[in-house]
Structure 1
Amino acid sequence: MDLLALADFNLVARHGGFGRAARASGRPKATLSRRVAELEAALDLRLFERGGRVLKLTEEGRALFQRTGALLTELDETAAAIASGGDRPRGRLRISAPLLFSQTAMGRIAAGFALRYPDVRLEVTTEDRPVDMVEEGYDLVIRVNPDPDESLVGRSFLRDRLVVVASPHLDRPADDHAVPAVVRGPASGGGTWDVVGPAGRARLAVDPVLRLSSLVMVRDAVRAGVGAARLPISLVSHDLAAGTLVHWGDVEGPEIALWALYPSRRLLSARVSAFLDYLKEAFPSGAPEELAAYIGGA
């Protein structure tokens, strides 16, 4: 396979058209079109659907782009590293991170990483939704308890756990009364919380009196005394130590784990490897107290 033609195909696929690829690369549009046509002829496959002003990848073209794009990037990085006399990370690094981690820690982590590796252009997007790393051009994603994905590999770098907390001015109701609760997410039934405290296990009936879209907002509302909430211990440990919140018990259930995920491939870019190492340095044991230290320093 002609690697130059393959590189031109990836250029066009990445920019979504021959004209945009030509403008971005400074190469003639006709040359890109010819080399992609030669690649299609060599593979005996149609890689693009050409119609009107829209250029779309075929199913085979999408598969080829997904499988070869990262490899070509790695080849470029390797050549650049050899030419510069070292393997110092460089280039663009795009990361998707969840909202709470971004609000509490990612700004300081990103700043420290940028200072250490000035040749890397770091871009961080905050979102809790699952993202398609290849389609959306991410090099690494950070997710909470992600579902298994055969196309991704990664490592857990931080652990947390949920606790039920409330203002010291909010009395815990008797067992036959519902707890006024601040919850995150859309409307649903009241439900119950299973907690483990000094007095043993308990099941708390809850009455959602306030629904908010972020856990930081939930914490602030609980501080104001409107109700109790389930929150990560890292987010409230300083409040518990200061007495502005009180601990009603630990929530029974699986541990919260933050994972750094990246496409499954044998070779990992220098910039992704550097960021993974930086996360390990920031959270050497992965304990909730390490994240709480970032939150306390905010």
Structure 2
Amino acid sequence: MDLLALADFNLVARYGSFGEAARAAGRPKATLSRRVSELESDLQIRLLERGPRGVKLTQEGLALYERTGALLAELNASAAAIASSSEQPRGRLRISAPALFSQIAMGKLVASFALKWPEVRLEVTTEDRPVDMIEEGYDLVIRVNPAPDENLVGRIILHDRLVVVAKPGLEPPEGKARVPAVIRGAADQTSFWDVTGAEGRKRIFVEPFATLSSLVMVRDTVRLGVGIACLPLSLVSRDIAAGRLSQWGELDGSDIALWALYPSRRFLSARVSAFLNHLKASFPSGAPEELAALIDG
């Protein structure tokens, strides 16, 4: 049975004429008449007796109206309640975020979000690999320079860039002399970094002597005066400002964009919208200094 046709029949039965029902619903009279006729055809019974002064319910029509009117009213009330509740963020929100961002920022972001929206149950997973949002059941993913995906939409929440840092007092060498370096990941086969600093562009030749799995560990190692490293500005800007590290320059072509991605703009849930707004409020201009302030705040 077509529920929309049944709803139209109930509407006409309630008002006693196609004209009154059409005016009440703001719909064409002919459409209502056609839908009721289709319902009668489907059920193989006559529901209404049509006359010049309106319509009259047949015995079968009256029985159908009495039995379905309350059910349709309950359905409408349930739909309205669900729509109303969806305006307030609540329920489970599953997020996948990269390791570094999770380590330095997600804890504080989750805490401040939870204080504002206590009915949202956050589940944050640390993943550097590309995840299948639909297959793995994520509501939102945060990724660094993600590859284009026609199934996802999103927005940039942060910009960052890589800088080469060292212990204060250590100067970039001349020529092809190699400098001990701390790098992240065994796959990094770095032999030199092209850096642009105050004195222009320079190629720095490096000799990796320590390979660590975390950029936070790389930063902590260089803080103690061991080697040089290439790190996100947001992670070391406070160290540079405080004189704990010196900056040799920015790595060429190292612009970083942190994206928040989700499957569709249509019917975006209130909890996803709320978290996106929370990210925007936390990083209003998307500058690396804003992430640095959150880290040290």
Report the TM-score when normalising by structure 2.
0.71
1:124 aligns with 2:138: no
Report the aligned-residue RMSD.
2.1
The 1:258–1:2 alpha-carbon spacing in structure 2 relative to 1, beyond 3 Å, is: farther
1:240 aligns with 2:228: no
1:275 aligns with 2:272: no
Gaps of 5+ in 1: 4-76
- Whether the aligned pair in 1 keeps the contact of 2:173 and 2:204 (CA below 8 Å) is no
- Whether the aligned pair in 2 keeps the contact of 1:168 and 1:243 (CA below 8 Å) is yes
The 1:187–1:148 alpha-carbon spacing in structure 2 relative to 1, beyond 3 Å, is: closer
Partner residue of 2:178? Answer: 178
- Whether the aligned pair in 2 keeps the contact of 1:142 and 1:259 (CA below 8 Å) is yes
The 1:286–1:2 alpha-carbon spacing in structure 2 relative to 1, beyond 3 Å, is: farther
Partner residue of 2:92? Answer: 92
Gaps of 5+ in 2: 4-77
- Structure ID, larger Rg: 2
Partner residue of 2:167? Answer: 167
Q: Once the two structures are superposed, what CA deviation does each residue of 1:155-208 show, in whole Å capped at 9, x if it has no partner?
A: 001111110000115443222201111111115534210100111100111110
In 2, distance between residues paired with 1:2 and 1:207? 73
Number of residue pairs the alignment of both structures matches: 223
In 2, distance between residues paired with 1:147 and 1:216? 25
| TM superposition shift of 1:271 | 0.6
Partner residue of 1:34? Answer: none
- Whether the aligned pair in 2 keeps the contact of 1:187 and 1:211 (CA below 8 Å) is no
In 2, distance between residues paired with 1:253 and 1:122? 35
Matched ranges for 1:46-85 at <5 A: 80-82=81-83, 84=85
Report the TM-score when normalising by structure 1.
0.71
- Any runs of at least 4 consecutive aligned residues in structure 1 with deviations exceeding 6 A, and if so which? none
- Percent identity (aligned): 68
Partner residue of 1:107? Answer: 107
| TM superposition shift of 1:81 | 4.0
Partner residue of 1:284? Answer: 284
Partner residue of 2:194? Answer: 194
- Whether the aligned pair in 1 keeps the contact of 2:94 and 2:123 (CA below 8 Å) is yes
- Whether the aligned pair in 2 keeps the contact of 1:96 and 1:127 (CA below 8 Å) is yes
In 2, distance between residues paired with 1:247 and 1:87? 47
Equivalent position SS for 1:203: strand
In 1, distance between residues paired with 2:110 and 2:171? 41
The 1:190–1:98 alpha-carbon spacing in structure 2 relative to 1, beyond 3 Å, is: closer
Partner residue of 2:147? Answer: 147
Q: Once the two structures are superposed, what CA deviation does each residue of 1:74-108 show, in whole Å capped at 9, x if it has no partner?
A: xxx97554455x71111100000111111111111
In 1, distance between residues paired with 2:83 and 2:211? 54
